[in-house]
Amino acid sequence: MLHHLPKVELHLHLDCSLSYEVVKMLDPSVSEEEFDIAFKAPFDCSSLLDYIKRAARPIELMQTQEQLRLVTLDLFKQLKADHVVYAEIRFAPLQHLQKGLTPEEVVAAVNDATAEGMETFGIEAGIILCTLRHFTEAQSLLTAKLAAQFSNTHVVGFDIAADECLPIENHVSSFQYAHQHGIPCTAHAGEARGAESVWESLDMLHPKRIGHGVRSAEDPKLLSHLKQNDIHLEVCVSSNIKTAVFSNVKDHTAPAIYQSGVSMSINTDGRTITDVTLSDEYKLMENTFGWGMEELKRCNLEAIRHSFASAEVKNKIAAIIEAGYPTK
């Protein structure tokens, strides 16, 4: 039943979602055993940094226009199988320049492949361009300018990702640029660090959404602020277990966030690196916390409401969600 529900996914990293099928196509030498070790995070990751290391090999295989096309279409195939009806796919363009592509060519390749994937699989989608915490101010600003340059395409937003323990001062100007050019923003925070990192991101970067944000539950004032200001949290439960944010899924703050009234959604983070689908995540919430159709429907409606999609797409997807979830 959960598998066939229509789903919305807002927090999904392209470079963390390569299937073995596409990896084998791009590099026939990779065995399934090597794939499991190099592309998937183990259950005993020591930290977020340990988890992020698994993105290195996929990124090596995403350095040409055709490679980027194949990886993007592969993800659309996975989304279709999981009954995802709207997805926002994020990646950092500046990580894909190793074989001579320009940043503009990288974004264009993923944008064109997204258009192809939407047409082929019947899924609505948007692209979020990421800067990374360790980037320079110039690199960050370049990424924001790419988001503005491609704003009339499938590129819908701007994000900051990577090592949350690094400072964000280098990225204030890029977020200011994005805001000035009408680019919606989200920001990774409240994962490796506590509630203070969410406050910091809100105060300095002013995003409409927070990627993860699960440690917001450590600060009741922050939860109240998020609710009052309608800031959406992109929650990724299994990912948070693998990155050792929580030692056990039963300790996860998702139910507390939901009960507080803060807007939230359920996401995979990366389908391969976390080794999970949204259907798996929904089953986990059902088995661990007793979630049912009411909670899942609300999270999906909140996800599309806080998506960076057009009003037309939001209305279309909301209608699909309303029709797709059984009523009492």
- Full DSSP string of 17-58: ---HHHHHHH-TT--HHHHHHHTS--TT--SHHHHHGGGHHH
Q: Residue 278 is part of a domain; what is its CATH number?
A: 3.20.20.140
Q: Containing domain of residue 192, as a range?
A: 2-322
> Which band of pLDDT confidence, cut at 50, 70 and 90, is reported for residue 45?
confident
**Dist CA 200 CA 220 (whole Å):** 16
Integer Cα distance of 169 and 185 in angstroms: 16
pLDDT in tens, 91-115: 999 999 999 999 999 999 999 999 9
Q: From the candidates 88, 124, 164, 191, which is the catalytic residue? A: 191
pLDDT tens digit sequence for 265-319: 999 999 999 999 999 999 999 999 999 999 999 999 999 999 999 999 999 999 9
Q: What is the pLDDT of residue 1?
A: 84
Average pLDDT over residues 70-95: 98
Counting DSSP H helices and E strands in the chain, the numbers are: 15, 8
* Residue 272 lies inside a defined structural domain of this protein: yes
Does residue 242 surpass a pLDDT of 90? yes
State both tokens at 2: 């959960």
Does any domain span residue 328?
no
The model's confidence at residue 51, banded by pLDDT at 50, 70 and 90, is: confident
| Domain presence at residue 241 | yes
Cα–Cα distance, 274 to 152 (Å, whole number):
32
Establish if 118 belongs to a structural domain.
yes
Q: pLDDT band at 44, cuts 50/70/90?
A: confident
Percent pLDDT > 70 in the chain is: 100
Q: What is the pLDDT of residue 288?
A: 98
d(CA 285, CA 244): 18
**Is 191 designated active site?**
yes
Residue 53: band (very low, low, confident or very high) from pLDDT cuts 50, 70, 90 = confident
> Does residue 300 sit within a domain?
yes
Structural domains counted in the chain? 1
Residue 96: inside a domain, yes or no? yes
Statement: residue 49 has pLDDT above 90: no
Q: Is 257 helix (H, G, I), strand (E, B) or coil?
A: helix
Q: Please name the helix (run of DSSP H) or strand (run of DSSP E) that holds residue 295, with its range, or none.
A: helix 293-305
Question: Does 327 reside within a domain?
Answer: no
pLDDT at 127 over 80: yes
**Tell me, what's the pLDDT at 134?**
97
What is the reported pLDDT for 47? 79
Q: What integer best gives the mean pLDDT of the chain?
A: 97
Q: What is the DSSP letter of 91?
A: E
pLDDT at residue 327 tops 80: no
pLDDT at 46 over 90: no
* C-alpha to C-alpha distance for 78 and 314, rounded to whole angstroms: 22
Check residue 328 and give its pLDDT: 65
Average pLDDT over residues 167-176: 97
